[in-house]
A and B are shown apart, each in its own frame.
Chain A
Amino acid sequence: MLELKNVRYTYPGTDQPILKNLNFEVADKRIGLIGANGSGKTTLFHLLIGLLNPDEGELLLHGQPVTTKETLRALRKEVGFLFQSSDDQLFSPTVIEDVAFGPLNLGFPPEEAREIAVKTLHNLGLTGFEERITHRLSGGEKKLVALATILSMQPKILLLDEPTNNLDPKTRSRLIDILKGLDQHQIIISHDWDFLSHTTTILYEIAHGHIHRCEEDHVHVHRHVHKAGDHPHHHQHSS
């Protein structure tokens, strides 16, 4: 449904392209995206959602090139992007206003937009957050509210940029449960292997400007030491 074809992108002021001859299609439901810092993972997201225009190649939505303002609008309605920093994403004074911002822009009348926002918050277990002040939420709450602001637009694809950064274990596992329960296609950038193993089925790696699919499951047993007792995890069966 969403595809980048032969894409090359160079940041202004640099001479080496960060991504080249890149072909990527959102075909699978749960895709993990890994790669070193600065390898171009976030750049790929920006290209997928039309925030950056490729030097070469094109962006296709349902086989149609995304070039005009209208197609870009259609694209952004179908694709939701969760930023690394929630502070960049939440700009309204109250939670309800922020979650209703997307639906209002899509043309829903205020009462319906409010209804959609309340329902979205409820689905994420955030009932009662409506009138909270966005900048006073905790880091974990901000992340979940930011997710709500995107889900309220009912996208078909979610781009999640390092969603578990700075989350405590409880919020992290809550996020895993939420993402598992969502029907949307998901592409997740993360350095958190354990998180990716829970939420994705296929891994891609970006390195040296190219993207390639990683190998499938490889089950093996290994010994390891817990220097802090039961942390980071607890073993049910000791062997």
Chain B
Amino acid sequence: MMDEHFASGNSQLHRRNPKVKIIVAIAFITVVAVTNNFTVATVALIAAVLLISFAHLAPGSVAKRLLAVNSFIVFLWLTLPLTYGGEQTIRFGSIALSQEGIHIATLITLKANAIILALIALLGTSTIAHLGHALDSLGLSKRLCFLLLFSYRYIFVIHNEYKKLSRALKIRCFVPATNIHTYRTYGYLFGMTLVRSWNRASRVHQAMLLRGFNGQLIPLDTKTINRNDYFFLATSLLLTFVLAILPLF
């Protein structure tokens, strides 16, 4: 669950400053997300594939992530061509497929895959800790950065608390069914998980205070922005800009 194996590499993309990667990711995603243009979406997907090839990630793991996203898109393919309507329709006996529906479904597929690949290539190649610190230095609210960093650290622990409690249910022969007893038990389970997480949060806060924490999270390795980072930033933003104005030609 908490694997960051995409982040442990040494490619050009891994070595880029997370701040720069966040800016590029935001620009690229914005352009791709708002476009209705087929060419833009196709070029964006090609660009994203190129980007991910620079990151030298295991193709199998990347494919697995894509599969997860595309399993949602399958539902669009099942519904859009049948329900979109529009003028041009293709008929197979009694089933009418909307050409516009197919068009939209293709566009969404291209866009979604381009965005996911770009996100994996740009953000997946930094650890959450580095991204958190980068967001902080980009001016995101400190509270949100803490929230990100600590959710990341403690989701695992909270999940463990939850597992412990549900194990306690199982060994006492609890079998969920559709009845009040089940609802009440699940209520206790979630309530108890919440209480325990809260208690843990206050203990962690104490531990931080005891070690001199005063609201400022100081990163251990301050990543400087070097010439390669500026080059990457400038090129990527230029290409993204070209992508955005492509429909004008």
Contact = CB atoms under 8 A, between A and B. Distances in A.
A160 to B, nearest CB: 13
Nearest to B154: A91
Contacts of A88: 200, 203-204, 206-207
Contact of B207 (A91, A96, A110): A91
Nearest to B199: A88
A54 interface: no
B212 interface: yes
Interface string B213-249: 1101011111000000000000000000000000000
Among A76, A80, A83, A101, find the residue whose CB has the most chain B CB atoms closer than 10 A: A101
A93 interface: yes
Contacts of B150: 91
B208 interface: yes
A100 B220 contact: yes
A73 interface: yes
A93 B213 contact: no
Given A104-B218, A113-B220, A153-B211, A87 B157 contact: yes
A59 to B, nearest CB: 14
A105 B212 contact: yes
A135 interface: yes
A135 B212 contact: no
A49 B210 contact: yes
A135 B211 contact: no
Contact of B204 (A77, A91, A102, A135): A91
Contact of B152 (A49, A93, A113): A93
B210 A76 contact: yes
A51 B209 CA distance: 9
B210 A91 contact: no
B129 interface: yes
Contacts of A137: none
A184 interface: no
Given A91-B207, A133-B2, A135-B156, A110 B212 contact: no
B220 A105 contact: no
A106 interface: yes
Given A92-B153, A93-B129, A101 B219 contact: no
A135 B158 CA distance: 12
A81 interface: yes
A136 B127 CA distance: 16
Nearest to B222: A110
A104 B220 contact: yes
Among A80, A91, A94, find the residue whose CB has the most chain B CB atoms closer than 10 A: A91
Contacts of A153: 211-212
Interface string A96-119: 110011101110001001100000
Contacts of A73: 212
A83 B204 CA distance: 10
A83 B218 contact: no
Contacts of A105: 211-214, 216, 218
A135 B222 contact: no
A89 interface: yes
Interface string B109-148: 0000000000000000001110000000000000000000
A28 B75 CA distance: 72
B2 A77 contact: no
A83 B2 CA distance: 25
A149 interface: yes
A85 interface: yes
Among B203, B207, B214, find the residue whose CB has the most chain A CB atoms closer than 10 A: B207
Contact of A110 (B152, B203, B213, B220): B220
Leading 8 A-B pairs by shortest Cβ distance:
A105-B212, A88-B203, A102-B211, A104-B218, A93-B129, A89-B207, A100-B220, A97-B220
18 contacts: A51-B206, A51-B209, A51-B210, A81-B210, A87-B200, A88-B207, A89-B204, A94-B129, A96-B220, A101-B211, A102-B212, A104-B220, A105-B211, A113-B220, A114-B220, A133-B2, A150-B211, A153-B212
Given A88-B200, A110-B221, 7 more contacts: A76-B209, A83-B207, A93-B128, A104-B220, A110-B219, A135-B153, A135-B156
